[in-house]
Amino acid sequence: MGLPGARMVMVAAIASGQGKTSVTAALARKFRREGQRVRVFKCGPDFIDPMLLERASGEKVHSLDLWMVGPEACRQRLAQAALDADVVLVEGVMGLYDGNPSAADLARTFDIPVLAVIDASAMAQTAGAVVMGLRDYGPVQLAGVVANRIASEGHARMVAASLRDIPLLATLPKQAQRLPERHLGLVTPDDVDGLDAMLDALADGLQLDRQAWDALAPRMPASVPAEPIAPLLAGKTVAVARDAAFCFLYPANVDVLHALGAELRFFSPLADEPVPDGANAVYLPGGYPELHGATLARAARWQESIRALHRAGTPIVAECGGMMAVCESITDKEGLTWPMPALLPGRVRMQARLAGLGPQAMPTAAGELRGHTFHYSLLDTPAEPVAWTTKHPSGVEGEAVYRAGSLTASYFHGFFASNPAAAASLFAAAPGVAP
């Protein structure tokens, strides 16, 4: 019988674009095909990478973040994963030491060894200097290195020799197909033709040093039981939009709404499905409404149903893309303008430049709700904000929060597990945003 726990590593790099997601996906798919139980986490706020990693691992991918999720909740998730799985992978965010808190902070807090991914396509022996700097700057415990975009066996040997006492745990050759990009990052998995074949090719191409991997000691983080969540939404039915236009939905948010006692009913505005009958509240998550402007503009049943609920005073929570989809119109990147239901006065316009990014917190009647923002569009509205989020860690003013009748709308994406009572207050008869 093996040791309790799971082999656990954080997949990190010096910067974005080194191949963290490709390596994490390759490891997840490789171990899964071998019959091992794999759990994957994503460090920091993200929606796209977790969708891809879910396809690779076959399991929901939750976020870990010392500020947004909180240390104890992170510890509980890691401990449960170590009980349930043979392998636990945590994909970092940006560079290992970027952000406050950073991926390195998370690794040190929970004693997670770091697997450093380097893009070796334009280097050889310098790889050792890069990796030693990553290890020693923090420092962090380094499990080994994955050299991405390796050209040949000779290239791999040069990289391995430069690492001195650090194992070259795996190599991955240059990929014939790279995961395509979109203005918010990677496309969603459903947008990629042959994605499973690409994931299998990544797993096939990953050359893993089994001896170095097997030398990693299984880990079993200690945790304390989670605080019970009061059923503040017991007896309530929350209708949740979920399709390609409304796809930015944290799995933890779904879990929290269930724990609050709500019955969830999912529907697709893109399929012109009306809000389900009997809904006591509506949740419109973020996504890509600007890519589906024509379809949403033609979705008469959806538009009339959300207008009717708004007139009736049903609480509606609209985040980022969800807010865009209930303004007067959206002008997409091609300059085409599409009419929306106009619950919130104002027009949305896409732009090439990033308009909002980073962790933020929104005030509510039940305390601070933590989350983040990431958007390229701008809203031109005569509506006056009822509140503003605050940026972390600076504390300066962040995103506007709007109220239009029973609608609460903002570019802010809330992470409901950070404060379930605050999340519940948003879906109450009198929305609980605190000025």
- Among residues 412, 370, 413, the alpha carbon closest in space to that of 392 is found at 370
Find out whether the peptide bond into 218 is cis, omega within 30 degrees of 0: no
Residues of the chain with CATH 3.40.50.880: 237-426
Average pLDDT on 362-382 reads: 96
Q: How many residues can be counted in the chain?
A: 435
If you classify domain 237-426 with CATH, what class do you get?
A: alpha beta
Name the helix (H) or strand (E) containing 375: strand 367-375
pLDDT band at 177 (very low <50, low <70, confident <90, very high): low
- Among residues 24, 40, 56, 21, the alpha carbon closest in space to that of 196 is found at 56
- Tell the CATH topology of 7-214: Rossmann fold (3.40.50)
- Give the pLDDT of residue 194: 84
**How far apart, in whole angstroms, are the C-alpha atoms of residue 292 and residue 294?**
6
Q: What is the pLDDT of residues 83-126, one digit of tens each?
A: 999 999 999 999 999 999 999 999 999 999 999 999 999 999 99
Find out whether the peptide bond into 101 is cis, omega within 30 degrees of 0: yes
Average pLDDT on 249-253 reads: 97
- Give the pLDDT of residue 138: 95
345 pLDDT exceeds 50?
yes
Residues of the chain with CATH 3.40.50.300: 7-214
Both tokens assigned to 324: 């865009």
What global pTM score does this model have? 0.93
Positions marked catalytic: 320
Q: What is the pLDDT of residues 193-212, one digit of tens each?
A: 788 999 999 999 999 999 99
Q: What is the pLDDT of residues 346-362, one digit of tens each?
A: 999 999 999 999 999 99
1 pLDDT exceeds 50?
no
The chain-wide mean pLDDT, for the chain, equals 93
What count of Cα atoms within 13 Å lies in the side-chain half-sphere of residue 299? 26
**Are 270 and 243 spatial neighbours (Cβ–Cβ below 8 Å)?**
yes
Q: What is the pLDDT of residues 260-299, one digit of tens each?
A: 999 999 999 999 999 999 999 999 999 999 999 999 999 9
- Among residues 279, 247, 153, 264, the alpha carbon closest in space to that of 207 is found at 153
- Among residues 86, 77, 78, 103, the alpha carbon closest in space to that of 18 is found at 103
Portion of the chain with pLDDT greater than 70, in percent: 94
